[in-house]
């Protein structure tokens, strides 16, 4: 995986020690990058997975289909 600044990163996913949450940990490749962790409930983890799958599905579509549209201009 690449982060926005172009460096390599790693994402680890598993259950937290209590077994109640999905734990998401990221570690960046830069000197200033500190490992970060997020605890997600079952519902939050499912929503995140759905969002990722939805956005990944749009990667196959031509760019003109999903670019933001120009806002409509109104005359005074």
pLDDT tens track for 57-72: 888 776 655 555 565 5
**Per-residue pLDDT tens over the stretch 16-56:** 899 999 998 887 655 556 667 889 999 999 999 999 899 88
Contact 23, 14 (CB under 8 A): yes
Sign of CA dihedral 12, 13, 14, 15: positive
What are the residue ranges spanned by the domains of the chain? Answer: 9-62
């Amino acid at each position: 995986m690449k982060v926005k600044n172009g460096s390599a990163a790693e994402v680890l996913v598993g259950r937290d020690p209590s077994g109640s949450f999905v734990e998401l940990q990221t570690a960046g490749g830069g000197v200033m990058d500190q490992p970060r962790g997020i605890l997600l409930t079952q519902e939050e983890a499912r929503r995140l997975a759905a969002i990722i799958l939805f956005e990944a599905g749009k990667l196959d579509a031509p760019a003109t289909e999903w670019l933001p549209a120009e806002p409509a201009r109104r005359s005074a």
